[in-house]
Amino acid sequence: MKAQVILVNERDEETGLMEKMEAHEKGLLHRAFSVFIMNDNGEMLIHQRALDKYHSGGLWTNACCSHPMPGESVEAAAHRRLTEEMGFDCPLRELFQFTYRTEFDNGLIEHEYDHVWVGTYNGVINPDPGEVHAFRFLSVDELTRQLLATPGQFTSWFRLAFPKVIEHLRE
């Protein structure tokens, strides 16, 4: 069975289910999440998406992001994908939600109601090479400099969420 996403309205109320690629081809709003991980030095974990991902391959982004499965809570999905993609899990807390829409060169459209989570982790990272080409921790200042200098090296959702994450963490 092909992966499905949860279609939602602008209030994140479920309106149906759809096969993931079909939802991305049609640009329909669906539930998603993004996980940001910090370490005790105040550095953020970013990873370079696998080069052959269906969109945004080779771009740098937050620790992980994906879609909850039908019947799965967003929090459970965030923990599941963090373990699957980066090879670790840690306590997470939800910071905020936002909606965005991005059209890609390959004709796919991300139109997501994105739940943004944050956690702290200092241990071993063992990423799935099918998801992650490379990873590193960067200071917020260095990451901000890189985003300003080379925004095209980062995913669209990361460019949108990163400033809000930093704002929430400073509060």
Residues involved in catalysis? 65, 112
Q: 65 - beta bridge partners?
A: 34
CB 103 within 8 A of CB 14: no
Tokens of 62: 């937050």
Report how far residue 114's alpha carbon sits from residue 161's, in angstroms, rounded to the nearest whole number: 9
Longest CA–CA separation in the chain, Å: 43
